[in-house]
Every structure is written in structure tokens, then in C-alpha cells.
Structure 1
């Protein structure tokens, strides 16, 4: 008997019913060069060592991502950081993957929707995306993420999209509605870490980002679980693979067999 589908506390954007291809991507550490929540935890919260121990505990199945992530963010609040102050720190320190703007522009020109599927908090993602792309361009990208609750005393906490799920945000639920369409599109999914484990096996073509810091948790998970994936370093590399599939030059099976962008 399968587990019940967790109820969402937040709305979803409409499913793109008439597209041949759809791109869904994690935000932190995938579209960005550094995970913003890891950055806040390492520098404003309880530090990298405890954060990394929590990541590995999730990867090994000893705790849930939801609970580990909540503890990370609570450590930032406990150190007196307001949500606005955190957002300002992120705007100063978090950069986008150098190839993402060209990747997004090509997708737009090719009528391929780009949807961000994140376990982070939507207000932070909106702010960072608008800061880099500009408000008009940023508004064309759907964001499916968690949210934030600001309390009367100025403290804040994450508002999980799926609080009953161990993921907090079960990213598979952004993918599975496409599978039920009469003519489902081919789905590209991009990720890097433990928050992407729920989505990994449901993508048609899964891209896993290679991390210079050695925190290649999604790659380790996919290897352990036998999930075919493509390792990529940046969106410029990934674009070449996506273009080859969209043009018909290569098949899904061919690019997955290569295993590397």
C-alpha cells in the first residue's frame, strides 16, 4: 500500500499541458553556485560541521530532510538574524550559475517552460532571481517552493509546502502531474542534494550537478539507488545536451548512457 499523498499548504502553478519539453530545476546549489540555506547556516547559524552532519544523516536515512532543515534554519533565528537581514546577506553573497541566463533564454525562445522546484523559501528565491535577471524576466519563471512565516516578535520560521512529508516539500509532486497527461512532455530535472531525492527517480532525464566542495549527495544517492543521471558542472554544459535531445540529434537513452554533459 502506497503512502498517502501529502497535502500542500501552498498553491501550485498550472501544469503546462501542451508542451513537448519542460525543465524543472532545484534552486540552491543548482541554479546558484552555492546553496543559500547552507550559506546562512554555515555563517549565521550553527556552522558547517553540524550542518554537514545533518545532510549525511538525511542521506543515510537516519533523519528526515524536513527535520534537519528546520533545525538548520532555527539555528539562524536563535543567533538573532531577522528574515530581512538574511535576505540582504544572500543578495550580497549568492551568485547564479554562469550559464543559467543563456540556458533560460534559449528555453524561452524554444517554448520550453523553466520551473524552479525548491526546498528553500520563495521570498528569498524571488529576491535573488529578480536581482540578477530583473523583475520582468524573473516573473516568467514559475517557482514551486516553501514559504516563510514572520512572527509578531520579528522571529521567523519556514512554512513547509508539505509539512506531513519527511521532505517538507516533496518535489515528486511537481513532476508526477505531468506523467498523467494524455501526451506528457519529456521532463528534464536538475538537482544537486538531499532535497532532490524525492524527485530523482521521476524525471525523464536527470541532471546532477558536480560540486567542487565534495558535497555530491544527490550523485551518491543516485549511484546507490541505480538511478540513471547525467553529471554536469554548469548550465552551459547542460544546454548542449538539452539542445541535442530537443533537436532529435540524440535520444533520452543515448544521453543517459553517456552519463556526463
Structure 2
């Protein structure tokens, strides 16, 4: 009897796994996955641009008088710290959202791919991710800009020629082209560079109190405000386990509603 029960349990479990809702997770890094903005830490340094000029540029981005790429290019051109100084004074103290490791483990258990899409620099992100997640970081694809440091000068090499330098919507569009029709696309962000990707997500999470939340409210785009990835995990679980569903509005945007 015990053998029969074991067989039935395995059979039912295999069916559940086969029919389970598929999810793909995409997240910004600076200010979203990481509680610190690695770029701003350097840009706000007294040896660089500093916060006053940086805030002027951010205002110009939001008002549409300067492209994101042009503004951030000016920011990075102002950075004058060595690689070792950047790590000793800033990056070694960076922290990631305390809810992310558990959420990442949940995604790994269910074979939900997690992708970091960032306007930051690949070498910085890779090292910080490895510091916090160890070997698990290798399973997370990072799509960001290349960068190199020569002495005290930082050079950013943009991923594409879009106004964002790395148009995150292209990453989601490429993934959706090969995903099953019912795959749920989750995107988590906090800033202006996340706007293009936000429009392609089924579930949009905007970190509370940041520019992306402000933009979504202004443009009437459905989103879920969050403070920690533990909240993201709960919403994803509710979708996967059937307690909620995705509903598309007349404007074409999606939102999560209870069943």
C-alpha cells in the first residue's frame, strides 16, 4: 500500500510540476535588488560630480529635456576614484534587499529564471552578486553595460544605442518571443531607466518612494509598490498557486487581481 501511495504522490506531483504556471523574473539592480545605488555612490563622491549637479541632471531626465543616456554619461565621466578606492570606500559595504536570497531560492526550486537588467557596470554587479549569493549568483544572468577603469577614470560602454544605453524592454521582448504564451513576466524596478521594461511586464513592482512609482502614478500604469522582495515572493506564490490571476485592462496594461 505504501508503495502505491508513493507512486500516486509522485505521479500527481509530476503532473503539477508540468502544468504549473511558468514565471520569468527580471529585476533592476541599483536601488532595487541592491539597497545601494552603486553608480550614485561614486557620482556623489566629493572627487566626482557631487549630489547637487546629479540631482539637476535627474530632474532634466524626468522632464524630458535630457536623455537618460546623455545625463548618465556625464555622471560617469565625472567619476575620479580608483577601482581599489571604490571597493574599499563604497562597494564592500553594499547590501542587497534582505528578502532577495529567499525569493531567489524559491525561483530556483521552481525553475523560474531570474535575470538582472541594469544600467550599471557588469564587473561591479558580478562581484557584488557573488559576495552575497556565492555560487548561486552564477545562475543569474546579468544584462548590463560594460565598463573599465583606467587609473581614476571610469569608462562606460553602452549596451545599445537607445536613449537608455541599455533598453531593458528589449531583454523582455526577446525572452517573451521564446516563452510559452501563458508565462508570467515579472519586473522589479525603481527608476527612470526601468520605464521601458515596465510597459512589457505582466506584473510590475516599483520600489516604494522612488522615481518609477512616481512615473507610474502620473501615467496611470498599474503597479505594486514594494519595500522588500519578500512581498514580491508572496505575490508570485499567489499567482502560481492560483489565489490570484493576471487581468489585462482596456489600456493594455496588466494587473494582479484575486480569484
Q: Is TM-score (shorter-chain normalized) higher than 0.5?
A: yes
* SS of equivalent to 1:248: coil
User: Corresponding residue for 2:221?
Assistant: 227
User: Corresponding residue for 1:97?
Assistant: 97
Pick aligned residue for 1:200 from 198, 209, 219: 198
Does 2:209 match 1:180?
no
Indicate if the aligned counterparts of 2:43 and 2:50 stay in contact, CA closer than 8 A: yes
Per the TM alignment, residue 89 of structure 1 is displaced from its structure 2 partner at its CA by 3.2
Indicate if the aligned counterparts of 1:118 and 1:146 stay in contact, CA closer than 8 A: yes
Gaps of 5+ in 2: 1-20, 249-253
Indicate if the aligned counterparts of 2:244 and 2:256 stay in contact, CA closer than 8 A: no
**What does 1:31-180 correspond to in 2, within 5 Å?**
31-43=33-45, 44-77=47-80, 81-134=81-134, 136-151=135-150, 155-162=153-160, 164-180=161-177
Provide the C-alpha distance between the structure 2 equivalents of 1:102 and 1:160, rounded to a whole number of angstroms. 32
Indicate if the aligned counterparts of 1:82 and 1:155 stay in contact, CA closer than 8 A: yes
Moved over 6 A (4+): none
Per the TM alignment, residue 126 of structure 1 is displaced from its structure 2 partner at its CA by 0.5
RMSD: 2.0
Indicate if the aligned counterparts of 1:91 and 1:131 stay in contact, CA closer than 8 A: no
Gaps of 5+ in 1: 1-18
Indicate if the aligned counterparts of 1:191 and 1:218 stay in contact, CA closer than 8 A: yes
Provide the C-alpha distance between the structure 2 equivalents of 1:236 and 1:182, rounded to a whole number of angstroms. 25
Provide the C-alpha distance between the structure 1 equivalents of 2:138 and 2:228, rounded to a whole number of angstroms. 23
User: Corresponding residue for 2:7?
Assistant: none
Larger radius of gyration: 2
Q: TM-score scaled by structure 1?
A: 0.82
Q: TM-score scaled by structure 2?
A: 0.83
Q: Kindly tell me: are residues 155 and 237 of structure 1, through their superposed partners in 2, closer, same or farther at Cα, counting changes over 3 Å?
A: same
Per the TM alignment, residue 257 of structure 1 is displaced from its structure 2 partner at its CA by 5.6
Indicate if the aligned counterparts of 1:87 and 1:124 stay in contact, CA closer than 8 A: no
**Bigger fraction of residues in strand:** 2
Provide the C-alpha distance between the structure 1 equivalents of 2:126 and 2:239, rounded to a whole number of angstroms. 30
More deviation, 28-37/249-258: 249-258
Per the TM alignment, residue 125 of structure 1 is displaced from its structure 2 partner at its CA by 0.3
User: Corresponding residue for 2:13?
Assistant: none
Per the TM alignment, residue 234 of structure 1 is displaced from its structure 2 partner at its CA by 0.6
